[in-house]
């Protein structure tokens, strides 16, 4: 989840489509250690989530949601936007395969077109920008052809993603269990209040909202916070207590661990090889870091000051730190597909 991201959506209003009054949860699946779809749906039901937002229209998940009272948001993936925008037949096929095949047994209530579209600034990404609204229009035409109408008189404000990370890298100020629990508990209390609070312009309006996200996802790229937005660990256990119905008083929760990173970290940090990683994969990441130029690995050449000790782990740790230091300002992160971690201990002292 990126704070500057914009998410465009078209709202599908079907029979019995009024909001449930319950908070929703984003169900991302960028992890190689997550519970099955069936277990995940059971977790959502046990947590009493009122709705779930998917980042695609996964057939298995949509089938498993059939017959439940969970309202569902599905998404047109970014890679399909241009094709749908330029071809009504493709839009019709998408609606047929991903809406009609499951509705009404699965309570599909929202179609989202694209994810963080305006965050992609490459030439190909900018090309997608120009096709975003046309894709939405073609999906709308397809829905109308199936007698599924958008009710423009009652389109509501909807919060597609909000939340707080429970952990992060050394410099990720404020990322803690205490802050995440406090934010999300207060969010639930506010958004499920009776009567609804609404907004100054629309008092009393229920605002559907989705907490990001169900799980910590270990394959998300970027800073450490990207992998720690979950309500649940990858094994399905709670990271902190939260009642999504909003009925539990704050005094009824167990005390939270104190937070120690609410002020910016002023010390040094290094990017090093993570423990117990696959050495073959580590060699590949080392090669990548050293291939980026700018003298990243010059000190690792034979005869130079950091050539010894001669080990893949040492060379990778040096290369990762050097790469991170040189390219952080351009968006580089200490991740390397999960092969790197941050440390506040100078790795050269243990070399």
Catalytic residue ranges: 116, 161
266 three-state secondary structure: coil
Is the distance from CB of 1 to CB of 212 less than 8 angstroms? yes
Report how far apart, in Å, the C-alpha atoms of 268 and of each of 173, 235, 338, 343 are: 14, 33, 21, 9
Q: Can you tell me the distance from the alpha carbon of 302 to that of 130, in angstroms, rounded to the nearest whole number? A: 51
* Short-list 212, 227, 237, CA closest to 172: 227
Token pair recorded at residue 60: 């298995």
Q: Which residues, other chains included, contact 320 with Cβ-Cβ below 8 Å and sequence gap of 6+?
A: 271, 272, 273, 285, 289, 334, 336, 340
332 three-state secondary structure: coil
Q: Can you tell me the distance from the alpha carbon of 275 to that of 123, in angstroms, rounded to the nearest whole number? A: 38
Continuous segment of H or E residues that includes residue 159: strand 159-162
Query: CB burial class (10 A; 0-12, 13-18, 19+) of residue 295?
Result: exposed
Cis preceding linkage at 213, omega within 30: yes
Q: Can you tell me the distance from the alpha carbon of 70 to that of 72, in angstroms, rounded to the nearest whole number? A: 6
Token pair recorded at residue 36: 């099955």
Token pair recorded at residue 278: 């696959």
Is the distance from CB of 193 to CB of 22 less than 8 angstroms? no
Q: Can you tell me the distance from the alpha carbon of 236 to that of 40, in angstroms, rounded to the nearest whole number? A: 8
């Amino acid at each position: 989840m990126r704070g500057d991201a914009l998410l465009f959506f078209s709202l599908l209003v079907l029979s019995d489509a009024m909001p449930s009054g319950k908070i929703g949860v984003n169900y991302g699946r960028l992890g190689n250690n997550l519970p099955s779809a069936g277990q995940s749906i059971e977790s959502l039901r046990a947590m009493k989530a009122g709705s779930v937002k998917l980042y695609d229209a996964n057939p298995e998940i949509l089938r498993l949601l059939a017959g439940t009272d969970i309202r569902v948001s599905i998404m047109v993936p970014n890679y399909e936007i241009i094709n749908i925008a330029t071809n009504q037949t493709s839009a019709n096929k998408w609606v047929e395969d991903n809406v009609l095949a499951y509705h009404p047994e699965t309570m599909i209530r929202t179609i989202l077109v694209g994810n963080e579209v305006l965050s992609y600034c490459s030439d190909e990404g900018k090309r997608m920008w120009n096709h975003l609204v046309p894709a939405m229009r073609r999906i709308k035409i397809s829905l109308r052809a199936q007698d599924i109408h958008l009710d423009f008189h009652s389109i509501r404000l909807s919060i597609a993603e909000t939340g707080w990370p429970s952990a992060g890298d050394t410099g990720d100020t404020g990322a803690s269990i205490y802050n995440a629990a406090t934010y999300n508990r207060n969010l639930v209390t506010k958004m499920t209040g009776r009567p609804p609070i609404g907004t100054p312009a629309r008092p009393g309006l229920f605002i559907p909202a989705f907490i990001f996200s169900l799980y910590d996802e270990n394959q998300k790229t970027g800073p450490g916070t990207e992998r720690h937005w979950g309500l649940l660990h990858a094994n399905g256990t709670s990271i902190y207590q939260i009642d999504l119905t909003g009925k539990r008083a704050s005094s009824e929760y167990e005390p939270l661990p104190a937070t120690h990173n609410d002020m910016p970290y002023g010390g040094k940090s290094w990017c090093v090889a993570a423990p117990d990683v696959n050495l073959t994969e580590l060699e590949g990441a080392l090669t990548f870091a050293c291939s980026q130029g700018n003298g990243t690995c010059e000190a690792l050449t034979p005869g130079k000051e950091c050539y010894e000790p001669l080990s893949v782990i040492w060379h990778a740790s040096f290369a990762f730190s050097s790469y991170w230091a040189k390219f952080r300002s351009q968006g580089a992160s200490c991740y390397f597909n999960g092969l790197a971690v941050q440390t506040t201990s100078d790795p050269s002292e243990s070399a």
